[in-house]
Amino acid sequence: MSLGTWKRGMAMLGLAAMVAGTAACSDFSGADVEATTYDQTDDSEKRNTLFGEGGISLWGDGNQDNSGGALGVNSFLWRATLDTIAFMPVSTADPFGGVILTDWHSTEEAPNERFKLNVYILGRTLRADGVRVAVFSQTKDGGGQWRDSAVPAETGTKIEDAILTRARQLRRQTINAK
């Protein structure tokens, strides 16, 4: 895949993120990103612990400020990440550590270029700084060997924005369903 094709692909991903963001912003307030979510927990539910209320928890630390139920990370960010990168083959997904690693992916239009993602979900709250994406790219040289190639710095940020936009959509759907 040529650098021009890569840039076009990333531009399309950015455009898709903007379209999704516009659709999600109809009743979005800025506080939604920073707010703690309760997608899989109930305020009236008591956490099961080995040593009583406030003791060692079987499912997290028993603190209702956390979200995501049994996941170690925010479930909206987790699901949004999987939705956003669904076109790529996932090689590793750790919902407790918040790490999703993809395998190398090439398109039919550019078989001599491939890329992969490492996505890190950094916490249990839905926050703008709660997800990090590392993007890697390789191109095939004349001898058929894969060589690392540069990736524009804004590529990871655009993917992060697409994940956050999808996470806000999922959260809004959950709130509206209650």
171 in Cβ contact with 38 (< 8 Å): no
Q: How many domains does the chain have?
A: 1
Measured CA to CA, the distance from residue 167 to residue 46 in angstroms comes to 26
In this prediction, residue 101 carries a pLDDT of 97
In this prediction, residue 60 carries a pLDDT of 44
Structure tokens at 18: 């903007």
Q: Domain range for residue 154?
A: 3-177
In this prediction, residue 153 carries a pLDDT of 86
Helix (H), strand (E), coil (C) string for the chain: CCHHHHHHHHHHHHHHHHHHHHHHHHHCCCHHHHCCCCCCCCCCCCCCECCCCCCCECCCCCCCCCCCCCCCCCHHHHHHHHHHCCCCCEEEEECCCCEEEECCEEECCEEEEEEEEEEEECCCCCCCCCEEEEEEEEEECCCCCEEEECCCCHHHHHHHHHHHHHHHHHHHHHHHHC
pLDDT 10s per residue in the chain (178 long)? Answer: 555 555 555 555 554 544 444 444 444 334 344 444 444 444 434 444 444 454 444 444 444 443 445 578 999 999 999 999 999 999 999 999 999 999 999 999 999 999 999 999 998 999 999 999 999 999 999 999 999 999 998 999 999 999 999 999 999 999 998 7
In this prediction, residue 45 carries a pLDDT of 44
